[in-house]
Structure 1
């Protein structure tokens, strides 16, 4: 099947892509929502050029859906309908794991566009811990770029997800995969990446409910 893939730039979206490719499907376009007012990505607050770097490294086009909060769903459907015809796709994939509300939204959107909604990573909440260890061993490299306040995770900002991180989360009440937004990531290398994204991290910015790592600069290097 030919897919559009909802792409945040983080580990879940990356593992969704990896799973689809291993199943023999073709991902023909990454779709990323971006704030019309601010310009950064809607989900993680990432600079668009970082997402473009991932798309270049993966050799898959990316389309930014320009959204505003009060018309988010309508704009998403409009752009997916346009991409459906332009890219001749059969389905749209999402990297959500176990939150029913997220899946219900995606399935409703897909139904209005005539596409099949697919959730390759869907699991029980209890499986989240093993899923994080699976990512750690997958060969993909993800930088922790945002954490919720009051969870004690800010010390991990700018660090790459590894076994030590997974071990620490396994002893807490925090979802190991950060499914409720406890932390966000940016994948910069891995098996499907034709180039590595080398990142120079900047300062940590405190926001209302989170702390976010600024990226000073980055470069693409051959592998």
Structure 2
């Protein structure tokens, strides 16, 4: 069963820095906005601690969320989040309306599976290097994946997995690949660690061969 996130929201009529500070300090809420789609932008406030707790779940960032504003529910995605520069506090959130008939752009986390058991790592002493941990996808809201798996089981030593190698759910495209082959970025690779005994042995063999020549 798909996970659901429901956020309680309240109308926000008074705006400005002073009003936002009072909202955070006195009511323990933060200012936010709902925009996009066919409706007008709506200023709201939401419970700070409720949102902070929801953010502990990775799925929150790549899910269609439901905002309940005085009994009216809207489907949205979290588009932007602002935090205090040094305190563990949220300061503002932007939510974008979604329509089942219109595609959305969302950053989805990558889950690397079978990494520890990959022969290149387990048997050959390789280490994996992650170039990215999330990827921007384009899809209809109902096709939005919670995450994309990157199966490391058959990745060989010095092999590089690129965006074009990822297996995507039906109806999901990677935004970068639509810009051309030059944007087929590396995602993960397995290499021998620098300074390893294997490297030293290969260097020694190379030097010995040069001396014989």
Task: Give the alignment's TM-score, normalised by structure 1.
Answer: 0.19
Structure with the greater alpha carbon radius of gyration: 2
Structure that is richer in helix per residue = 1
